[in-house]
Structure 1
Amino acid sequence: MTTSFAMQSIILGSPVKLSQSRNGLNQFVPSCYLPRLHRSSHLRVKCMAEEGEKLDKSSTPLTDSAATVPKPTPAPFAKAKPSTNFSDIFSFSGPAPERINGRLAMIGFVAAIGVELANGADLSAQLSNGGLLWFLGSSALLTLASLIPLFQGVTVESKSDGIMSADAEIWNGRFAMLGLVALAFTEYVKGAGLFQV
């Protein structure tokens, strides 16, 4: 019975004083086993609806002090300034490598098909008859023209809109790279130009 009384008192969180134990001594069980919970009249719980949910109009406001607290306004997102560091621009996921290769491939594919249609010369003949110098010169010029805005902090996305978007340029460059490889492979297997019979 004494143990039952002590356990109930500990669960309720109040100090327990046992009158006598088996050996006849008074023993006290401290109340530090469970903290005493005091009810505070200053504690208020406020529930806010998620964005897009409607509040229940039948609920009553808590107090005037809760109504006077101004709502914090979210800070606007600051756009991160693009890096002009050489290693960031030429990193694997940087803005320069795929974009410059795509631009070179677009010009190279159109030039290769145009010269082949005009002269009938395949890709290897075009490169051996002075086309290699034209390729190197146009590659250097186009690479320099593409890098100058990147080192000044201008992004392609900030200058693109409508049909001429940055994503469209990337995809066109990828297709042009695939087209140049397919053109060279087809002419190698065929042994002649693409349009020669």
Structure 2
Amino acid sequence: MAASSAMLQSCFAGSRIYSAALPSNALLSPKRVGRVTPVRCQAEEQRSQEPPVTVPTPKPKESTRFFDILAFSGPGPERINGRLAMIGFASAIAVELARGDDLAAQLMNGGLPWFAGTAALLSAASLVPLLKGVSAQSKSGGVMTADAELWNGRFAMLGIVALAFTEYLKGGPLV
């Protein structure tokens, strides 16, 4: 068995092996004896089922310039307005439940200075991290994500508009 295997391999390689069991030209045709038979082997390329790995290109660092942060498409305006709307909506509902004043009465009875002071303080507190280059996405995790904050702010903005519109149509406080 080993001799026939060696004989077969030698025939493909073109060399002769002399064995007592088989003559040197037992597997070769008479024309091919003494010639080298070239053998070519070509492997097929194996295609992977997984998509090719692409290295993500790093995002350019966001600008920390004041006017870039407060630009229309910058990170500041929607985040600051959303935070102010969340505080404003919660406090408007709380004061309305406690005193029975509608939104317009709350602003007329000393609420305007409180609104301006709160807006200035929260705007400054929201701008400081952005000016230092810290993004909200880098600090978010779990349930409290940056996207959740934006959506809550959007709903609070709609809530304030709906509260004011409802009180206008009703002619008084919501509750």
User: When the two structures are superposed, what TM-score results if normalisation uses the length of structure 2?
Assistant: 0.69
SS in 2 for 1:174: helix
The equivalent position to 1:169 in structure 2, one of 130, 142, 149, is 149
Whether 2:159 is the aligned partner of 1:182: answer no
What is the 5 A alignment of 1:44-59?
49=47, 52=50
- Cα distance in 1 between the residues matched to 2:103 and 2:153: 19
RMSD of aligned alpha carbons? 2.4
Counterpart for residue 149 of structure 1: 129
The equivalent position to 2:96 in structure 1, one of 116, 122, 127, is 116
- Cα distance in 2 between the residues matched to 1:79 and 1:132: 42
Please report how far the alpha carbon of residue 50 of structure 1 lies from its aligned counterpart in structure 2 after TM superposition. Answer: 5.4
**Unaligned stretches of 5+ residues in structure 2:** 1-43
SS in 1 for 2:147: helix
**Unaligned stretches of 5+ residues in structure 1:** 1-45, 54-72
Please report how far the alpha carbon of residue 49 of structure 1 lies from its aligned counterpart in structure 2 after TM superposition. Answer: 3.8
- Cα distance in 2 between the residues matched to 1:77 and 1:84: 21
Counterpart for residue 127 of structure 1: 107
- Cα distance in 2 between the residues matched to 1:76 and 1:121: 54
Q: Percent identity of the aligned residues?
A: 63
Shift in CA distance, 51/114, structure 1 to aligned 2, threshold 3 Å: same
Structure 1 segments (4+ residues) deviating >6 Å: 73-76
What is the 5 A alignment of 1:1-197?
49=47, 52=50, 77-195=57-175
- Cα distance in 2 between the residues matched to 1:176 and 1:78: 34
Please report how far the alpha carbon of residue 131 of structure 1 lies from its aligned counterpart in structure 2 after TM superposition. Answer: 0.3
| Larger relative contact order, structure 1 or 2 (CA cutoff 8 Å, min sep 6) | 2
- Cα distance in 2 between the residues matched to 1:51 and 1:148: 48
SS in 1 for 2:71: coil
Name the amino acid aligned to 1:191: G
Give the number of aligned pairs: 133
SS in 2 for 1:146: helix
- Cα distance in 2 between the residues matched to 1:171 and 1:141: 22
Contact 1:82 1:154 in 2 (8 A): no
